[in-house]
Structure 1
């Protein structure tokens, strides 16, 4: 079969700016599940493009990506044929049982038996721009002098720092040059460096959002920094409550608060900067600010007070956590000490990966990838919200249209439902979610934090149906929790948030 009958492909389901990614995913899935067996011939690119009524270039690019992944062979006479029968691919963020034990606490490793993965913070790793990344990687390997492969600058490669400075200025409004940036292995390393600095300075109390990122709190506390919770409402962090914590620093996610999804209001931002002006520090985690779907993201706080803010972000949500590439823009007074600490920790990051990212940004491929990614993620978020509204009309869904997760609370079941037990029950049914209680310091309404980045639209709808049935069973559980507390894989109820 060829054309529109081939695999029953329906181009109307592809995102407007993501036809190549959609077609690649469809073909990759067909090879994995056996619909395209070893030796099967794919239609000629011109024929498939004509029957699907899409640009031939999209088909050519999709075939090229499959060749780079080792899934197909392309020969002039035989055409493009399936190369071999690869192992059935896992959903983004998973590892096979052969390499990950059931007790692994790593946020990217789904316990055995998980079929639908709604873990927050995981992007769709199958959409990683392999072809573009490989093109830049080849150029870097061809053009980079041997001397560049030695021990590098612990601040990060100067080429990447220059590209990041321009990109952060253009997209996030940051006031920074190349000499004000430290390239790090993700936000986790930023928190490690800042946490150790706070302890050295005798300022080992940090205010944190409540609810807020459990993973960030764990990182800071590991380095001896003690967290003090401050409540979050519809306008973000309640800044007036900071005074009672006696903290000299605060950790915030102002562009898209985790997990509630709210944006720190303009008035609260001004109050926060005023609070920090008394010799204090704002740690601004910009973890997914480039994933805003209804409008341009709000500007970072750093431009309003570069001497008071340590701004950090990474490519973990936009490209892949496994790249371990991020940035830290600290106040100038802390910069030299943090560079010394960075050198002591690992002597600096990998030069090749930094140079590839620099080319990826400079070429415009990063911005193009982000635009395609936003279209895909917005569609998945819409599917999830529509399914939640239909199946769980009494649930409350908060936050702006952004990021890779939504928070869902069940106010009508307050006092009758333990969300940790709910998450454990769902895991037994093959659905991985996070209980909201994991991110709370003080009691509150039961809820779940649901990620939609790593699951297909059909999978999201199916997962919501399962969640609704389990929650409905809790409606008659007055005076008792939904089920007996269970530890899935030994770690689920205490499992940390995804590494930043």
Structure 2
């Protein structure tokens, strides 16, 4: 093809030729679609970096002749992309690629915490997505679309749909002992957004550090860091968060998982819960309660939420990520009255509120008892898998100490000394395609101070058969290298 010269310092004909093949579909497109096809192809050439800023384009006459299309079609394409900022043109200077558009970077790595190629996947954090109640959810969706008033589809209340806030208040008061009138409930896109909202609200008040359990979910620290707040690791003892180091830390806010500490599995004792609230009152501080799996208890009665004891010093958050599916991005946040206005305003500016149809759907699902039925269904399935995992560990790792089994969706297994050191065991497991996560991944120091292999084993998403096979395989590869 022919090509015009270039401006000094710009890409030359070679850069244009590299993008030539992207425009070929325009020539063969149906006549009525050629203009749109050419414009789309030019946009893609710029976005992808095939046409770099400063590249001089052929004249409209030259490009039309090369593609076999009308000159007017090319002229229209150039004018449209110039108006959009992709191209620049000047009288007598031709047309070239502008500098406003930057080529897309290579695709980011997959952040989903799963190992699709693993022979056995014990990574914690995901429920069994095959248990999602598709039929009941579809029925609720049809009902919502039939009954939802037209005016409800406008911009929503950033706090959430009143119908859903009412359903959540009833559910949380009944199941978790939370003080939850509808006006106190804020609908959020999961616990992650709840933490971020709290982080921004606290930062606006001058807070720059918050305490965090050690061990704990690393995600909490990342979320607060995004709001400009650093975290201080605070140790646990047998009753929960150690309040001595908490008082010495001088923080005025702390993130906790008191009903079932993640990942240790500790349920805070009554004494420790009282001590934690006494601390919050003494410093006019805030306890942030992540009730991440509060509905899953197998061998003990559910422990009520800490928020029910002092709703003005506890911010409470949870979601349907474990009970239904994390992909729904639906959760709740209850904050003290003193923080409510700031958190709601931050929610409004962040996303204008959650989608109305999704909120109405979840509300109907709860109102008709479907949510309670789903919890019972999951409870039965996960208890069976918990029992299968514990039995398999006893069979294939005799002498292993298993803890945190009374609740939740994972256990902690401390393997016999002969399977150490941890680095060697983890290497063997990875080579065999067994996805496991050590307890050190959740500790601030990244070490437990000894050579015992301590694993955080998730089981909710694994069938009983795969659990047995995975534990057997893990024992085989670990035993091959055990001294």
Determine the C-alpha separation between the residues in 2 that align with 1:122 and 1:290. Answer: 15
Q: Shift of residue 135 of structure 1?
A: 0.6
Determine the C-alpha separation between the residues in 1 that align with 2:477 and 2:347. Answer: 47
Unaligned runs of 5+ in 2: 1-105
Q: Which residue of 2 aligns with 1:106?
A: 112
Residues matched between the structures, number: 373
Determine the C-alpha separation between the residues in 2 that align with 1:341 and 1:185. Answer: 13
Does the 8 A contact of 1:314 with 1:325 survive in 2? yes
Output the TM-score relative to the length of structure 1.
0.72
Q: Secondary structure of the equivalent of 1:372?
A: helix
Determine the C-alpha separation between the residues in 2 that align with 1:384 and 1:102. Answer: 34
Q: Which residue of 2 aligns with 1:440?
A: 443
Q: Shift of residue 474 of structure 1?
A: 4.9
Output the TM-score relative to the length of structure 2.
0.74
Does the 8 A contact of 1:435 with 1:447 survive in 2? yes
Q: Shift of residue 265 of structure 1?
A: 0.6
Does the 8 A contact of 2:119 with 2:470 survive in 1? no
Unaligned runs of 5+ in 1: 1-99, 477-500
Q: 2:285 aligns with which of 268, 280, 286?
A: 280
* RMSD of Structure 2 on Structure 1 (CA): 1.9
Render the CA deviation track for 1:326-368: whole Å, top value 9, x for unaligned.
0000111000100000001000001111101101111111111
Q: 2:126 aligns with which of 122, 139, 143?
A: 122
Name whichever of 436-445 and 178-187 sits farther off: 436-445
Q: Which structure 2 residues correspond to residues 77-476 of structure 1 after superposition, within 5 A?
A: 103-107=109-113, 109-111=114-116, 113-277=117-281, 278-410=283-415, 412=417, 416-419=420-423, 422-442=425-445, 443-444=447-448, 445=450, 446-476=453-483
Q: Which structure 2 residues correspond to residues 31-70 of structure 1 after superposition, within 5 A?
A: none
**Relative to structure 1, is the Cα distance of residues 134 and 340 closer, same or farther in structure 2, using a 3 angstrom cutoff?**
same
Name the larger-Rg structure. 2
Q: Shift of residue 440 of structure 1?
A: 0.6
Q: Which has the higher contact order (CA 8 A, sep 6+)?
A: 1
Render the CA deviation track for 1:132-177: whole Å, top value 9, x for unaligned.
1111100001111221111100001000000000110011111121
Determine the C-alpha separation between the residues in 2 that align with 1:101 and 1:471. Answer: 35
Q: Shift of residue 130 of structure 1?
A: 0.7
Query: Which contiguous aligned blocks of 4+ residues in structure 1 show a shift greater than 3 angstroms?
Result: 100-103, 421-425
Does the 8 A contact of 1:422 with 1:435 survive in 2? no
Render the CA deviation track for 1:36-89: whole Å, top value 9, x for unaligned.
xxxxxxxxxxxxxxxxxxxxxxxxxxxxxxxxxxxxxxxxxxxxxxxxxxxxxx
Q: Shift of residue 244 of structure 1?
A: 2.2
Q: Which residue of 1 aligns with 2:30?
A: none
Q: Secondary structure of the equivalent of 2:349?
A: helix
Render the CA deviation track for 1:403-446: whole Å, top value 9, x for unaligned.
111111236369x5235x64454233222221211101133154
Determine the C-alpha separation between the residues in 1 that align with 2:156 and 2:127. Answer: 30
